[in-house]
Amino acid sequence: MTEDTPPTDPVPPHGAGAQRSGNDPPKKRGVPEGVWVRCPGCGQTVFRKLVDERQGLCPECDHHFYISARDRIAHLLDAESFEEWDENLRPSDPLGFSDRKPYAERLVSEQKRTGMPEACVSGRGYLRGRPLALAITDSAFIMGSMGSVVGEKLTRAIERATEQKLPLAIVSGSGGGARMHEGIFSLMQMGKTCAALGKLNEAGGLFISVLTNPTMGGVAASFASLGDVVLAEPKALIGFAGPRVVEATVKQKLPGGFQTSEFLLDHGFVDRIVSRPDLRGEIARLIDYCSR
Amino acid sequence: MPAAPLLPFERPIRQLEEKLAALEADPDPSSHLRDAVRALRREIREKTREVFENLDAAQTVKVARHAERPQTRDYIELVFDEFVELHGDRAFGDDRAILTGFAKLDGQRVLLVGQQKGRTLKERTECYYGCAHPEGYRKALEKMRLAEKFGLPVVCLIDTPGAYPGVGAEERGQSYAIALNLREMARLKTPIVCCVIGEGGSGGALGIGIGDHVAVMQFAYYSVISPEGCAGILYRTEGGATPANVDRAANALKFTSDHLLEFGIIEEVVEEPPGGAHRDHRAAAGALKESLGRAVRELSGLSPDELLAHRYERFRRIGQFEEAVAAEIAGDASAEDATTASST
Ligand SMILES: [Zn+2]
C-alpha cells in the first residue's frame, strides 16, 4: 500500500535490495555478513561481533540495525520458552500476480533467502516469567508486508490472547504496509486484525504495540497503531504515506525527522521511545502495571 | 450529456448518437426516416451494452473517475429524502472530504457518511479531491457513535482515491485515525451498510468501510493500492507510472466489481445504467437506493449481538492461504511443500 520503499538504511541487509536476488543462502543474522560493518548511523566501521552482542546496536552511536524475528524472540523471551503458533501457514497467490517476477516465484525465493515461510512469526512464551502472546513482522520478507498469512497469524494470535487472557505484544517491522501482490485480500487483513483487537479490547486484554523500523502504510493504519501502550524503537520510520509520496504531494522539502519515532512521540501517537536492550524490562513493567 | 468529456471507448456510441441527432433534426420525418431512427436507437443501446460489458479494469477506472459520475452530494439529492448535515470532529476541524449527517432513506432515519470528491475546482480544492485527513475519519467515527447511541443504521458511501498523504495528515495521526475506525466500526452496535460508489482507494476507503453489507457499484473499483502507485513500484525501471503502465497495473490488481464478488469480498454489485452512472444519474441513484434500502431492512431484524457476530465473521473469513501438514514443516519450509489443505 505504501508507494515508497523506506530509505536505504532501515532496509535490512537482506531486505528490499535482496528482493532482486533470490539465490543467496538464508542468512541467520541481521547484521551484514563479514567481520566489519559500516554503520549507517555514524558512518563508522564497527566490529560486527560487538553489534551482535548489543542486540544489533552500533557500539559507537546506538544505531538500531535490523534484526530478524528469531533474534527478536531470543532477546525478548526467556530461553527455550517460545512455543510457535501456526507455523504451517503458507502464502498463496490469489490474483496470479506478477511484478518483476511472478509472485509465486517471489514467495519461493523469499522463503529460501530468509529461511522463513512468511513475514510473521507468532506464538506464546514467557518474558521474565510472565506469560505472553508475541507476534513479530519481519521486514526482511517482502518488506514485512501484510498479506493473508500475516493477517491470519496476527488475528489468531489476538484471538488466542483474548481466550487465554494473555497479555499481547506485537512487534511491527513492515515497510511494505498491506501487500500489493495479494490485492484486496491484503487490504481486508487490516479490517480483520482490527476487528480481533476490538474484541480483545472489550475483553479487557492488554495489547502492547512495539513499532520498529519501518512501520508504514496499511500496517501502521491498522493493528500497529492500536496498542493500549505504543512503544517505538529510536529513529524508526513510522507513517501512513511513504515520505516520497508525501513530498511529491506537498511539493516541498519534508521537515527534518519527519515520520520518525520522535516525530510521532512529539505529535502524540507514541507513548515511549525505548532502546532495544530495554524493551524486555519495559514490557515486563507494563504487564505488571496493567495486570488485574 | 453532450458537454461530458468523452472516454475513448465511448466514441463509437457518441458517433451513433450524433447520427441520431441529425436524423431527429428533420422537422417532418417520413415513415422511412422514423424507422431509421428506431433502428438507430436500438443500435445505440446494443453498442452501449457491448462496450460496457467488455470494459477492462483500466477502462473501468476511467469510468469510476469520470468527471460527471454522481458523487455523494448527488446521491444525497437523489437517494435520500432529507439530509441534516452535522459538521466537525470535535478535535481539530471539519473535513470537507467526508460529509456526515442525519438522512432519510425511504422514510427510515439513518446516519449518512459519504466521501465527497467535489466537482468544481473550488469544491475539489476544499475537499482535497476526496482525500480525507485524520479529522475526516474522526468526524465519521464521532457521528457513527451518535448513530449507535440512538439506534440509527449507518450508511457509508465510499469514493476516494486514498487518504490524504500530506505533512499535516501525518502530524495529526492519519494511521491512528484510520486504525481506530477499523476497530470501532467492527464493534459498533448498529447496522452499517457500505457502498463503493466510485473509487475505493485502499486504507482511505476501508476507514469508513467496515460494514455488515458492503456493495460496490458496477463500474467502481476497490483496491489495496492505486493503479498509479502500483505502476510506480512494478514498472519503476520501465518509466514508472506512465499511462500505459498504469493500465497494466490496473488489470493486474483484479479490483473490479466482478472480481470482488467472486473473491467473496463484497455482498453485492449494484448494476449501473447502460453506459455507466455518469450517463444517467437518476437511474444510478435508483439502483443504489434499492440496494441500500434492502440492506438496511434486512439488517434491522438482527439483535446487536447477532450483528456484531455476523460482522466479525464477515471479515474474519477473508484471506487465502494454505496449511502445510506437520511432516512437511520438518523438511524444507518452502511453498512447494505446502498442501492445499485449506483455502478460504
Ligand atoms: Zn553507529
Of residues B300, B298, B277, the one with CA closest to residue B79: B277
- Phi then psi dihedrals of residue A94, to 5 deg: -65, -25
* A194 interaction partners in chain B (CB closer than 8 Å): 179, 182-183, 186, 210
How many angstroms separate the alpha carbon of residue A64 from the centre of ligand 1?
8
Q: Do B324 and A178 touch (CB under 8 A)?
A: no
Work out whether the CA dihedral A27, A31, A36, A39 comes out positive or negative.
Answer: positive
Return the half-sphere exposure (C-beta side, CA atoms, 13 A cut-off) of residue B81.
8
* A155 interaction partners in chain B (CB closer than 8 Å): 316
Report the complex ipTM. 0.94
B156/chain A closest Cα distance in angstroms: 16
Q: Residue B200: beta bridge partners?
A: B160, B222
Tens digit of each residue's pLDDT, chain B (344 residues): 445 679 999 999 999 999 999 999 888 888 889 999 999 999 999 999 999 999 999 999 999 999 999 999 999 999 999 999 999 999 999 999 999 999 999 999 999 999 999 999 999 999 999 999 999 999 999 999 999 999 999 999 999 999 999 999 999 999 999 999 999 999 999 999 999 999 999 999 999 999 999 999 999 999 999 999 999 988 888 898 999 999 999 999 999 999 999 999 999 999 999 999 999 999 999 999 999 999 999 999 999 999 999 999 999 999 999 999 866 665 554 444 444 434 43
With contact defined as beta carbons under 8 Å apart, do B49 and B84 qualify? no
With contact defined as beta carbons under 8 Å apart, do B109 and B152 qualify? yes
**To which residue does cell 566501521 refer?**
A45
- Phi then psi dihedrals of residue A79, to 5 deg: -50, 135
In angstroms, the CA A175 to CA A116 distance is 17
Q: Residue B264: beta bridge partners?
A: none
Of residues A141, A142, A194, A189, the one with CA closest to residue B202: A189
In angstroms, the CA A64 to CA A77 distance is 19
Q: Which CATH superfamily is domain A16-30+66-290 in?
A: 2-enoyl-CoA Hydratase; Chain A, domain 1 (3.90.226.10)
**To which residue does cell 514443516 refer?**
B329
> What is the per-residue pLDDT across A143-173, written as a single tens digit (0 to 9) for each?
999 999 999 999 999 999 999 999 999 999 9
* pLDDT of amino acid A31: 53
Sorted by where each begins, the domain ranges of chain A are: 16-30+66-290
- Fold of the domain built from segment(s) B61-301: 2-enoyl-CoA Hydratase; Chain A, domain 1 (3.90.226)
Q: Which residues of A are annotated as a binding site for Zn(2+)?
A: 39, 42, 58, 61
* pLDDT of amino acid A30: 54
Three-class SS state of B165:
coil
Size of interface A-B (CB pairs under 8 A): 231
* pLDDT of amino acid B327: 60
> What is the per-residue pLDDT across B8-25, written as a single tens digit (0 to 9) for each?
999 999 999 999 999 998
In angstroms, the CA B213 to CA B288 distance is 13
* B172 interaction partners in chain A (CB closer than 8 Å): 267
Three-class SS state of A151:
helix
Tell me if chain A has a CB within 8 Å of the CB of B18. Answer: no
Residues 6 or more apart whose CB falls under 8 angstroms from that of B231 comprise B240, B241, B242, B245, B246, B248, B249
Q: Which three cell numbers mark B84?
A: 441534516
> What is the per-residue pLDDT across A5-60, written as a single tens digit (0 to 9) for each?
433 333 333 333 333 333 334 444 455 568 999 999 999 999 999 999 999 999 99
